[in-house]
């Protein structure tokens, strides 16, 4: 199959319904499943309910992408969706970064063990 860098609607639905791993942390949650590619792919969900302002939605996505890039090699072969959750707007950037790092390190540990 040809590599597609972006997750499609079908990919999002598959990850939501058949996720191999699901984790929650302060302000965010992650779901992941294996893909048939050598690279990790990221999907982000930053809804208006947990993040009413566009500025905060963009901030969440920017920080999530930054943290994901650091873990991308360790997450090889996974499709990951990170979702913003209710108290995320109250978190400082460093707290959000720590929370995302916790999620991705849990995924890394699980993905490498199986």
- 67 close to 100: Cβ distance less than 8 angstroms: yes
Q: Which domain holds residue 108?
A: 9-113
For position 37, what pLDDT does the model report? Answer: 83
Confirm whether 4 is domain-assigned: no
Number of separate domains in the chain:
1
CATH label of the domain that carries residue 61? 3.30.230.10
List the one residue out of 80, 48, 55 whose CA is nearest residue 65.
Answer: 80
What confidence tier does 114 reach under pLDDT thresholds 50, 70, 90?
low
Q: Which two tokens stand for residue 74?
A: 């360790």
Say if 37 falls within a structural domain.
Answer: yes
Task: Please indicate, yes or no, if residue 105 is contained in any of the structural domains.
Answer: yes
Encode pLDDT of 68-86 as tens digits.
Answer: 999 999 999 899 999 999 8
Predicted TM-score (pTM) of this structure: 0.91
Residue 63 lies in a domain: yes
What is the residue-averaged pLDDT of the chain?
90
| pLDDT attached to residue 21 | 92
Per residue in 17-50, pLDDT tens? 999 999 999 999 999 999 888 889 999 999 999 9
Answer whether residue 106 is part of any domain: yes
Integer Rg of the chain from CA = 13
For residue 79, give the 3-state DSSP assignment.
Answer: strand
Decide if 36 is inside a domain: yes
DSSP state of 42: E
Residue 1 lies in a domain: no
Residue 83 within a domain? yes
């Amino acid at each position: 199959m040809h590599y597609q860098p972006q997750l499609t609607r079908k990919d999002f639905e598959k990850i939501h319904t058949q996720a191999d791993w699901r984790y929650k942390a302060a302000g965010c949650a992650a779901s992941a499943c294996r893909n048939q590619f050598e690279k990790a792919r990221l999907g982000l969900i930053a809804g208006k309910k947990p993040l009413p302002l566009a500025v905060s939605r963009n901030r969440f996505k920017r920080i999530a992408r930054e943290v994901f890039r650091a873990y991308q090699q360790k997450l090889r072969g996974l499709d990951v969706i990170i979702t913003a959750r209710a108290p995320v707007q109250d978190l400082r950037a460093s707290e959000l970064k720590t929370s995302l790092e916790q999620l991705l390190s849990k995924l890394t540990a699980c993905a490498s063990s199986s």
